[in-house]
Amino acid sequence: MAKSNIVICILIIFGTSCGTRSKEIPIVELSILNSVDVIQDSIFFNRIEDIEYLDGEYYYLDGKSGLVNVISEDFTFNRILSKAGPGPEEVKSSANFSLYNGSLYILDNGSSSIKQYSTVDGDFIKSYKLPTIAISTDFSVANNTFYISDFRNQKPLLKYHSQDGKNEYFGRSREWSNKSFDVERHVLVDKKGSIIVVYQSDIPTIELYSESDKLVQTLDLSYLDVFTNSMIKYKEEVLPRRNTSMVVVKDVQLDDDNLYMLITSHNDEGKVSFNKILKCSVTNSAIKPEVIYALNSSGYYLSFSLGKNRLVAYNYSTQSLEEYSLDN
């Protein structure tokens, strides 16, 4: 575990102030406890873009069927939720999902809507029509409101109020040196009502908003040593030849007062060179990087979730779920 080297620097938190932050944070190498690529009745793990943990069960979105399956902590199959198809109670093109108050909410790009189902038996509850969007990032449900990324809008964050169907936009757009358009964002809401926005690609950036949508902090993570060298190399050697993303945040999770980000990057040959999960502490006023968990370096991870002292990640290279211990 690396020791922190504290340096004096300029900290940008929606303004400029003096402070301290470390360019180095501890890196913990995680070892695989268990790896599963098939469960009972020959059920294989197809491309899993999203996986969530709730009350002793893992919910995951199957990339082939477009349905949400539920398995136990020991990877035993329990049930299938949601319905795929063109009907009003079915999902045409599943993009992502969220769990809230006993319901499963699936973002359906095919119908520009969110479909609500019971987490108990998968019964359809309601459909919510959204503005025309096409995203794959995480969204959140809290207090009868959906928080969604809509990067094509000048204010790229959408609040959809489910009770009256009204839309409300907030946030700020950004311009990128190698692209003419903005990027998608993962949007999370913590128990205190704070809104956490994580940029999906290019420079790893987090924004923290208050419950009233006021920007509290913008945190550019490229100052961390773990990113600096690879990003400099990417800018100098890769970007001039390829119009690709520098760093990609594949998935994010909130657990109590901590934010976890699954971050990947590629070398100039297009191979994965970075498979790590960054853990940050979250308060009402600031987000602070704490530790990095290094996954199997030969894998390519699309999603992950946090269970009881466990981290479960989907390795697309082997099409398997890998279980790691977080008792570090």
- Encode pLDDT of 194-210 as tens digits: 999 999 876 788 999 99
Q: Higher-confidence residue: 58 or 223?
A: 58
Distance CA 168, CA 266 (A): 36
Are 108 and 126 in contact by the 8 Å Cβ rule? The answer is no
323-326 long-range contacts, CB within 8 A, separation 24+: 323/32, 323/33, 323/34, 323/35, 323/36, 324/30, 324/31, 324/32, 324/33, 324/293, 324/295, 325/30, 325/31, 325/33, 326/30, 326/293
Q: In what order do the strands lie in the sheet with 94-100?
A: 94-100, 103-108, 113-118, 124-129
Give the mean model confidence (pLDDT) for residues 55-77: 92
State which fold the 6-325 domain adopts. Answer: Neuraminidase (2.120.10)
**Residue showing tokens 């009907």:** 87
**Residue showing tokens 């063109």:** 86
Query: Which residue in 243, 245, 280, 282 sits closest to 264, CA to CA?
Result: 245
Query: Which residue in 287, 325, 107 sits closest to 198, CA to CA?
Result: 287
Query: Which residue in 36, 38, 162 sits closest to 98, CA to CA?
Result: 162
| 138-191 per-position pLDDT tens digit | 999 999 999 999 877 778 899 999 999 899 999 988 765 545 456 789 999 999
Q: Express the helix, strand and coil content of the chain in percent, nearest 5 each.
A: 5, 50, 40
The predicted model scores a pTM of 0.86
| 13-48 per-position pLDDT tens digit | 333 333 456 678 899 999 999 999 988 778 889 899
pLDDT of 207: 95
| 102-153 per-position pLDDT tens digit | 999 999 988 999 999 999 999 999 999 988 776 778 999 999 999 999 877 7
Are 264 and 277 in contact by the 8 Å Cβ rule? The answer is no
Query: Which residue in 81, 125, 122, 89 sits closest to 108, CA to CA?
Result: 89
Structure tokens that stand for 56 in this block: 């002793």
Kindly report the average pLDDT of the chain as a whole number.
Answer: 83
Please report, rounded to a whole number, the percentage of residues in the chain having pLDDT higher than 70. Answer: 81
**Residue showing tokens 């959809």:** 160
pLDDT of 273: 67
Highest mean pLDDT among 2-6, 70-74, 199-203: 70-74
